[in-house]
Amino acid sequence: MSRERIAHGEGAIYEFSPDLEAATSVESGAELTIETRDSLDGTIRTESDVLDSIPSEVNAATGPIAVEGAQPGDVLRVEIEAIRLAEAQGRVITIGGFGLLDGDDVIEAPRTRLTPVEDGTIAFGDLDVPIEPVIGTIGVAPESGSYTTLVPHDHGGNLDTTDMTAGTVAYFPVFQEGALLAMGDCKAAMADGEMCGTGAEIATEIDVTLEVVSDPETELERPLLETADAWKTVASAETLEEACELANRDAIELLAAEHGFDRTDAYMFSSLVGGLEISQVVDPLVTVRNAVPKAYLTSPF
């Protein structure tokens, strides 16, 4: 199967909802190249382009892509094979009303800094930062409720998680027939936490392989990531503490199932290896991961 290209123009969403209509449909096993715009839709081109507040439409997610055969209760396996930058510059911004230090007298918002793409790096002033592209927004149609592409939740969405990069396999619960996957809001580089509100936002092409895991051994309530070294549960909530609880509970379930622990022993074991990691602290809900090294967990599917 040659790689099918899914252009941004074929469809993009600013909201994940149960009644999404597919912009395109593919078979399980499809190898795709998905084009994504930058999170600000190309409106930030010079350092004079600044945003006084978050636009009502941000983080355009290319899709929705229906994967044939995906039924509620299934799992959608998204193998991220490569992410290529698709423009000559990224942009890092502060925005009025957004960011970890929002409201601080010393921090100027809005401000825009461009990050020109060089050979394997982006430039921030005199500094060069290695390009390590991250997909910020990636998710499926939710079970219920509507979430803009700025919000992360059990369906994925604006997870802003540095692990969402080439080499990772992301597993999503399927809530709606076809799953209805969409992705966008990529960064050429990003720190855990995304403190100012953005990484280096940039347009990309993403190579993925999509596969339906039918009748999975383990049902997911929230996304699960498989990196080179670890399995990581991913949870979003109003506070970091609440997100930590959810992510830890999900990790406990996996450890209990793998080792025959009861939940208390799984909880105690989870306190010895890997651990809690911040994804982002700036979106309307915040996101945390609980990593468990692969030495202690095999695939739950």
Name the site residues for a copy of itself (rule: CB under 8 A). Answer: 92-94, 99-101, 106-109, 111, 113, 115, 124-127, 129, 162, 189-200, 239-241, 244-245, 248-249, 259, 261-265, 267-278, 281, 286, 288, 290-291, 296
For residue 204 the two structure tokens come to 């990309």
**152 or 199: CB nearest a copy of itself:** 199
If DSSP codes are grouped into helix, strand and coil, which group holds residue 254?
A: helix
**106 or 228: CB nearest a copy of itself:** 106
Rg (CA), the chain: 19
If DSSP codes are grouped into helix, strand and coil, which group holds residue 90?
A: strand
**52 or 241: CB nearest a copy of itself:** 241
Give the DSSP H or E segment for 240: helix 240-259
User: Nearest approach, Cβ of 208 to a copy of itself (angstroms)?
Assistant: 24
Bridge partners of 287, per DSSP, are 236, 280
User: Nearest approach, Cβ of 90 to a copy of itself (angstroms)?
Assistant: 9
User: Nearest approach, Cβ of 190 to a copy of itself (angstroms)?
Assistant: 7
Strand pairing class (12-13; 204-213): unpaired
**296 or 301: CB nearest a copy of itself:** 296
Q: Which amino acid is at 31?
A: E
Q: How far is residue 76 from each of residues 35, 44, 166, 258, measured CA to CA in Å? A: 20, 34, 17, 21
HSE-up of residue 246 (Cα within 13 Å, Cβ side): 23
User: Nearest approach, Cβ of 117 to a copy of itself (angstroms)?
Assistant: 13
**46 or 239: CB nearest a copy of itself:** 239
User: Nearest approach, Cβ of 55 to a copy of itself (angstroms)?
Assistant: 19
- What single DSSP character describes residue 140? -
